[in-house]
Structure 1
Amino acid sequence: MTPASEAQREAWRSGGFPEVERVRPGVWSIPVPIPINPLRYVLVYALELPGGVAIVDAGWDTDEAYDALVAGLGVAGYEITDVRAVLVTHMHPDHYGLAGRVREASGAWIGLHPADARLLPGRYDESLVGDLVRRERGLLARSGVPEPSLDELAGASMMIRRFVSMAKPDRLIEDGERLDLPGWDLRAVWTPGHSPGHLCFAEPERRLLFSGDHVLPRITPIVAVHPQSGPNPLADYLEALAAVGRLDVEEVLPAHEYRFLELAGRVGDVIAHHHERLAEIEAVVGAADGISCWETATRLTWSRPWESIPSYMRRGANNETLAHLVWLETAGRLRRIAGEPDLWFPA
């Protein structure tokens, strides 16, 4: 994949931290650090407006992240009080977490897709998250996660809730909506899969795509079945990916790693990756006389041996495997016998 910024790619490859960059007239890339995370930073984009800026995503809610965002805006010649809008690609903490703090400082409006906005209370409201954990525990039990690991894995994401300032969005951004940003022809593109309400933002005149986590230059986003996902998130993701690949885009501005060119080629690579994964999972199920999702996950090829994958990441691996199993079930290539655990068989 051809990088649009060699400096950004080298920073990623070396384990460093990229500089604030002027992508092109009117657009700035601002890296904001992510704590305790191998992704290291989220790329926030500042779009110049008459009398201020709009930002795409915001970062985690930490003092370090906030200070980096403020400093990055300063390099571009702006202050945090100049932010007029926060366009959130999706509800995950590294994108949504600082949105409320930015609004408090600037009066900016926050925009989010309605599908993600509906899920915010259940994910981040202290009085409601217990139900989410219980539902996750049930899903993991049906997946075949061993009893001693159930509670730990079900609550694995609770540690990151402290990096989010709960902020109800001011505007709900629908698919195809043209954002009211002077000097910009920015269009919302609904791309569910990584989250139910994930949005990309396309700028046809400048041939830019702000892709959030939907399309990244080197890695693929997690697409998983979980209590807040759609019933077949991988199908949603692949459909949205193919649609994005048909856009006339010169440069992709993702939320992680580095900017890149050749969107259609990258989309083709990601689609091929998922179909290879589907074939691998189908082969594992075909070689067993009934197998759980968890056991299937342990037999797949990962970036490291299963034994060395941290327990909290095993939950993501399980739920991502389940998304592929559901896709195969819906396609008529596998069948499931419900139970605790559910068992999977060739169709």
Structure 2
Amino acid sequence: MGGRMTRTADHGGGVRSLRVPIPDNPLGHTLVYVVDTDRGPVLVDTGWDDPDSWDALSEGLAACGTSAAEIHGVVITHHHPDHHGLSGRVREASGAWVAMHAADTAVVRRTRQARPEHWFAYMSAKLAAAGAPEEHLAPLRTPRSLPGLSPALPDREIVPGELLDLPGRRLRAIWTPGHTPGHVCLHLEEEHPAGLPGHGRLFSGDHLLPEITPHIGLYGDLEDTPGVTDPLGDYLDSLERVGRLAPAEVLPAHQQPFTDAPARVRELLTHHEQRLTGLLALLGTPLTPWQLAARMEWNRPWDDIPYGSRNIAVSEAEAHLRRLVKLGRAQAVPGTYPVAYTAV
């Protein structure tokens, strides 16, 4: 057991969860769900591809009375490495199928084909266009190897609105783009085992979390045509869709399960509306996405935000700018490079 306390929880009705650690990440761990079916256990997400994470997954499965070799299938909420990372190892151990929404499978396929230097060039160009200073761009000019560049290619497609092939269970896919283009929540259309009021249970991935707001940035699609996608708009629309489902309980991929999804949805809609209003006030003066990110409110001062997190913050600023442009409340200043934006 490696001296570690196995952290598993029984949620009733043939659903358990186990904590798979995410190395060097304040989120701490991913909650991987084990769903019993008539053909054996099915996983919702798998956790980060790291030896300690694999050990935690293996120990957790053993504590649930099963093992990676017995997994029938893997359902992935979205392509991020703390969710999809160990899918390949589980499939090698068991022959399980791996299912993902087509939009995220396309991201995985591109990631597998991209050379690291392609990614560095892409990030460098993207950040330069957003107004990043030279000292931030310099490290991107020396490509090095990147972890997570060969994620497992899924072999099944999750089709929105359809029931997944889980014998003896009713698990329906709800497409909830925003955090990624192919993020899905999974609605277990069965009575709550403890009889809580509402409609079944929802595996919410990163879409709906009890205390934190998922990162909404641009989709980072290497083929993305600027101005076409609107991830924040997608996210707000899909939040409303999940609120209307009114599940009895939400089983998220981080933190802990919770009830009253409609109330949490309202909090998040209000949060983003306030943030957009605050950004419009900042855009009284033309600002690049980098300048805007440096002025936005984060969980710590901009000067204390580490390198990688600044890239995420700029992407989030860009997603909010794109939403304001789509709403006709902000516009790009013609002829500026890096492009500056101003309130309309």
Same-fold call, TM cutoff 0.5: yes
Q: How does 1:202-217 map to 2 (within 5 A)?
A: 202-206=187-191, 207-217=200-210
Matching of residue 74 in structure 1 with residue 62 in structure 2: yes
Q: Which residue of 2 aligns with 1:39?
A: 27
TM-aligned CA deviation for residue 226 of structure 1: 4.7
Aligned equivalents of 2:172 and 2:141: distance in 1?
37
Identity across aligned pairs (percent)? Answer: 41
| Unaligned 5+ runs, structure 1 | 1-15
Matching of residue 263 in structure 1 with residue 267 in structure 2: no
Which of 143, 154, 162 is the equivalent residue of 1:169? Answer: 154
Q: How does 1:285-296 map to 2 (within 5 A)?
A: 285-286=283-284, 288=285, 290-296=286-292
Q: Which residue of 2 aligns with 1:6?
A: none
Aligned equivalents of 1:298 and 1:153: distance in 2?
20
Aligned residue type for 1:213: D
Instruction: Decide whether aligned partners of structure 1 residues 285 and 278 sit closer, same or farther in structure 2, where only a CA change above 3 A counts.
Output: same
Aligned residue type for 1:315: N
TM-aligned CA deviation for residue 17 of structure 1: 8.2
Q: Which residue of 2 aligns with 1:137?
A: 124
| Unaligned 5+ runs, structure 2 | 192-199
Instruction: Please report the TM-score for the alignment, with normalisation by the length of structure 1.
Output: 0.89
Q: Do the aligned partners of 1:57 and 1:96 also contact (CA within 8 Å) in 2?
A: yes
TM-aligned CA deviation for residue 132 of structure 1: 3.2
Q: Which residue of 2 aligns with 1:342?
A: 339
TM-aligned CA deviation for residue 83 of structure 1: 0.3
Q: Which has the higher contact order (CA 8 A, sep 6+)?
A: 1
Aligned residue type for 2:246: D
Q: Which residue of 1 aligns with 2:194?
A: none
Instruction: Please report the TM-score for the alignment, with normalisation by the length of structure 2.
Output: 0.90
Name the Cα RMSD after superposition. 2.0
Aligned equivalents of 1:259 and 1:112: distance in 2?
23
Aligned equivalents of 1:59 and 1:239: distance in 2?
27
TM-aligned CA deviation for residue 165 of structure 1: 5.2
Which of 311, 318, 326 is the equivalent residue of 1:315? Answer: 311
Matching of residue 123 in structure 1 with residue 111 in structure 2: yes
TM-aligned CA deviation for residue 166 of structure 1: 2.5
Aligned equivalents of 1:84 and 1:316: distance in 2?
35
Say which SS state the counterpart of residue 72 (structure 2) adopts.
strand
Aligned residue type for 1:180: D
Aligned equivalents of 1:35 and 1:146: distance in 2?
29
Q: Which residue of 2 aligns with 1:49?
A: 37
Instruction: Decide whether aligned partners of structure 1 residues 184 and 153 sit closer, same or farther in structure 2, where only a CA change above 3 A counts.
Output: farther
TM-aligned CA deviation for residue 84 of structure 1: 0.5
Q: How does 1:186-335 map to 2 (within 5 A)?
A: 186-206=171-191, 207-228=200-221, 231-286=229-284, 288=285, 290-335=286-331
Aligned residue type for 1:312: G
Aligned equivalents of 2:6 and 2:342: distance in 1?
47
Aligned residue type for 1:170: D
TM-aligned CA deviation for residue 308 of structure 1: 0.5
